[in-house]
Structure formats: C-alpha cells, structure tokens
Structure 1
Amino acid sequence: MGSSRPGKACGEVPEASSSGCASTVGIGASRSCSSKERSSPPESRQACESGPETSRSRRPKTGSRCASSCKVHAANRVRLVAGSFAWPFRGRSRWTWPIGVVTVLLLPLLFIPLFGYAVAAIRDTEADASTGPPPWRWSARLLWDGAWVAVAVAISAAPFALAYNPLATALTPRLGDLTGGAVALLILWFGWGLVLLLLAPHATARFAASGDFHDLFDVAAAIRGVRADFATWNLVAAAIVTAWAIGIACIGLLCIGLVPGVFYAILVSAHAAAALHRPGTRPSTG
C-alpha cells in the first residue's frame, strides 16, 4: 500500500487525438505529488515527478505540422486572390476582350451570355488557376449557366426594387422628390451590393463546380461557407470591391471607358471567387 504504480502516480492526462488544425487537448496538464507519493521509494517518486514531462515529450507533434500546413494553404489562397488583378490580361485568345467589351456594351441584350461566360471563367480557374481567361465558346451550356445566374440576380434584386417606392416616399417630405429618390436608390443599391457580396461568391463558385443550379439558391450553404472560411471570403470580397472600384474609376480617371472597366471587374471577380472552391468538388465539364 505504500508504493504506487509509476504510470498513475501523477494522474497523467491521456493523449488526445487531433485532426485537421485542432489543438491538442491536455498538453502540459500536471498536478503535484501527494505527501504519500513523496514518501514512497525513490523510483516511484521520480516517476511521479517526471511523469508529465515524459508524457509530454512522447506526444506526436501533429499540432505544429498541421499549423504549418494551414499556413501554406492560407498563403496559396492569398496568392490566388492577389493574382486576380493581373489574370484578365493573360488571355489565351485575342478575341476574349473584344467580345467581352461588346457584350458589356450591349448588356440589355447580351446579359445572359455575359453571365454564362463569368461562370465559365470561374469553372476554368477552379480547374487550372495558372491559365488566363478562357476563350468564348458559344454553346447551350453558356446560355444555360447565364440564364440561371440572371434568374438568381433578379430574385436577389426583387426585394430592393419593391422597397424603392416606399422608401423614396418616406424620404421625400424631408429631402424633396429628387434628393429623396436619389438617397433611396443609393441606400438600396448599397444593401443589394452587400447581399450579393455575402452570397454570390460562394454560390457561383459551387454552381460552376457542380453545374447544379440549386447551388445558386442555397442561401444557407453560402452563409455556412462564409462562416467556415471567413478569412478567404474576406480576401475575395476585398478583391471584388477593389476591382469594381477600378472599373468604375475607368469612366474618366484613366480615360479608358466604363465598358472595358466593367468587363475587367467581372473577370477579376470570377477569378477571385474561384478561391472559394473546395478541392473535394471537381469542376463539371460541358
């Protein structure tokens, strides 16, 4: 009764399994030896005093390896998003920009092919991010993808369009007809932009990878994606906002014109959204 087993003398904490980037539980946990254990034979007392350190030294260093792996993964995502700004100029076809500029110029007529090409650009980047924008391929798949994106955009804009008249009417007594309408329009545009920024990158990335139009309308999955990898979504959102700011600034600041600036913003947004693609889902072909 006077001596105890060395393995249980200090109540060693069992090794905790770790997976992914989770931290190891129980590392460094220890307690002091009791008075009875101090009065035990030297070998038992030594086991008691060195038990936690021995257990700690035998633990596999999976946490450090996983942390370094996560850092490499995050760095790759950062490089992919940062490369979005130069990606539009690495086109594999000399007709990519001329056709794109024409579709933006004739947006009321050609918005479906333009949306379809944006999905194709995301899909192409998900498959191989080292290449430039894909060439235009006029096909049923292009129109199919563009039509579903147009439906999703219309559904997301509908609540804000319906809210315009009530909001403008509420602001008119204080701001006047013209100013009240303009302020209402700006508020609703800003709100719609936030909704698109929150939902569209994940939704379009999943749609481009799977080809299933239901992914465009899965709001819960888009929100879960943002929560699961907020850092990457934040980078993607920043790249998209910056690209559209550059595109709008092209009206007069760079003397290039709004139309090519908008097409540039679409290409940057498509490339950045591809960073949200999960490697487990293979891009669909078609």
Structure 2
Amino acid sequence: MFLPGPKVWQVKVVAESFTWPFTGSWGSRFAVGSLLVLFLPVTFIPLLGYAIAATRATEPAGGPPPWRLSMRLIADGFWTAVVLLLLSAPFLLALNPLAGAIGNAHLWPVPDRSPSPIYAGIAAAFLLALPWGLLLLLLMPHGTSRFATTGRARDLFDFPRTLREVRRDFPAWNVVAAAMVTAWIVALACVGLLCVGLLPGAFYAILVSAHASASLQSTAGPSSADPRPR
C-alpha cells in the first residue's frame, strides 16, 4: 500500500523549527526559560503556558514570544499540565509494581542485594519510558496545536480526534515527531557542558517542539479561532 510522504511546505516548516528559537530577541527568552527549567517542577505550569504561547506565535521573523506572566499563560499551562499528568498517571502507577517484579526476579547475580531495589527502579523506569514517550508523541502535538489555535481546553483531551488526524496525515505527524525527538536528544547532549547546558538545551527543545507542533495546525475558521485577547 502506497503511503504519501509529507508535503514539501510541511517539511520546510518543521526544518525551520531548529533555527526559529534563535530568531528575534532570543537571548532574553532563553535566559528566563533556562531559569524556569532550573526551578522545575515549581515552574512547571508557567513553562508549559509559555510553550503554548510559543506554539501560537510561530511567525519565523518574530521568533519566540516575549515572556509575559498573565492569567492566560497560567491557564494554558494548567490545562497542559493536567493532560500531561493524565497521560503519565498509568506509567507512574505501574513504576513501583514493575520495579518490584524486576527486583523479585533477581536478574543480576550480586553478592550484596541492598542496591537491588535501586537497579530495579532504574530498569523499570527505562522500560516504561519508551511507551510513555510514544504515547505523548502520539497524542500531544495535534492536541497542543489545536489548543493553541482555539484556546479551548477540551481540544487537549479530544484523543479520538487526535488519532483521526494522525491517521489522516501520518507523514506530517512523523516529521514533527522526529523533530521533537531530535530536539530532546540535543538537550540531553547538552548535559556534557558541565551539566549547565541542560537548562538552555531543555528550553530549546521546548521551543522546537512548539514550532513543530504548530505546523500541524489546519486553517481555522472564524468559529474556531481563539476569542480571548492575546
């Protein structure tokens, strides 16, 4: 069965995601963003709110939007945090039972079994990380794109619609997912810079993900546009 590839303009827009964070007055954006990454999870909601604002404002010439703490930013971050926690909850609940099962299996023959629970926890986290990441990649980009466009929180939770959109234009989603994964690999690679590079690296990955997600936006009609002031 022949599967069409992504459209040229979609590939171009996603490719621009890697340079878009450095357009405009990017220095001040990175300074504040890196500081918020440093104080996670306290700053989780405003950081997510800014990610939605970045998805909403992806004009190539303008670069990332300026930091403005507002009720809209907090509300956007709150609803994004809720959907992330909802999708992550099954994996968090499965972590301890899976770690216990791995520990009881005695997979590593060591004379001192006191570190075994730690090893089991790490192994369980790695086993759960892949399906958790795939689930977020599958459900979050389209939902985030719709939410940024309409401002309706229910668009984040409309998982059936998201799956339909992924099936309808799988190549476009695949390109976006690849860009997001690449950006987070770059962020992890920044750990080598005395670990300090992880902060701007993580913020860079957030901006790349926001811009790439915005490429999934369909043309919104007047009825679906976000009525709230920007």
The residue type paired with residue 180 of structure 1 is A
d(CA) in 1 for partners of 2:184, 2:174: 16
Match of 2:95 in 1: 164
Distance in 2, matches of 1:197 and 1:213, equals: 19
Q: 1:147 aligns with which of 78, 98, 119?
A: 78
Instruction: Specify the alignment match of 1:267 in structure 2.
Output: 207
Gaps of 5+ in 1: 1-69
Sort the Cα spacing of 1:283 and 1:250 in 2 relative to 1 into closer, same or farther, 3 A. Answer: farther
- For 2:55 and 2:225, how far apart are their aligned partners in 1? 9
Distance 1:193 1:229 in 2: 20
Task: Look up the match of 2:106.
Answer: 174
Distance in 2 separating the partners of 1:220 and 1:91 = 37
Match of 1:100 among 30, 33, 36: 33
Specify the structure having the higher radius of gyration (Cα). Answer: 1
Q: Do the aligned partners of 1:123 and 1:283 also contact (CA within 8 Å) in 2?
A: no
**2:159 aligned with 1:219:** yes
Q: Take 2:133 and 2:80, find their aligned partners in 1: how far apart are those partners?
A: 16
- Matching residue's letter, 1:238: A
Superposition pairs for residues 1-286 of structure 1, below 5 Å? 74-92=7-25, 94-125=27-58, 128-172=59-103, 173-175=105-107, 176-252=116-192, 257-281=197-221, 284=226, 285-286=229-230
Q: CA deviation at 1:108?
A: 1.7
2:24 aligned counterpart, secondary structure: coil
| Cα RMSD, aligned residues only | 2.0
Q: SS in structure 2 opposite 1:112?
A: helix
**Partner of 1:201: helix, strand, or coil?**
helix
- The 3 A distance-change label for structure 1 pair 255 and 188 is closer
Contact preservation (8 Å) 1:205, 1:273: yes
Mapped to 1, the partners of 2:156 and 2:181 lie a distance apart of 21
CA 1:185–1:93: 2 relative to 1, 3 Å: closer
Q: 3-state DSSP class of the match of 2:181?
A: helix
Q: How many residues align?
A: 214
Greater shift, 83-92 or 194-203, is seen at 83-92
Give the Cα separation in 1 of the matches to 2:201 and 2:194. Answer: 10
Distance in 1 (CA, whole Å) between partners of 2:198 and 2:71 is: 29
Q: Which amino acid aligns with 2:149?
A: A
Q: Work out which structure has the larger RCO, using CA pairs closer than 8 Å and 6 or more positions apart in sequence.
A: 2
CA contact (8 A) 1:208 1:283 kept: no
SS state of the match for residue 57, structure 2?
helix
* TM-score, normalization by structure 1: 0.71
Q: 1:188, CA displacement in angstroms?
A: 1.3
Gaps of 5+ in 2: 108-115
In the superposition, the TM-score normalised over structure 2's length comes to: 0.87
Deviates more, 1:162-171 or 1:246-255: 246-255
Query: Cα deviations across residues 178-209 of structure 1 (Å, max 9, x unaligned)?
Result: 32221111111222111100000001000000
Q: Which amino acid aligns with 1:199?
A: L
User: What SS does the corresponding residue of 2:215 show, helix, strand or coil?
Assistant: helix
Equivalent position SS for 2:7 = helix
Report the alpha carbon displacement of residue 101 of structure 1 after superposing the two structures with TM. 0.9
8 Å Cα contact 2:23/2:61 also seen in 1? no
Structure 1 residue ranges, 4+ long, deviating more than 4 angstroms after superposition = 253-256
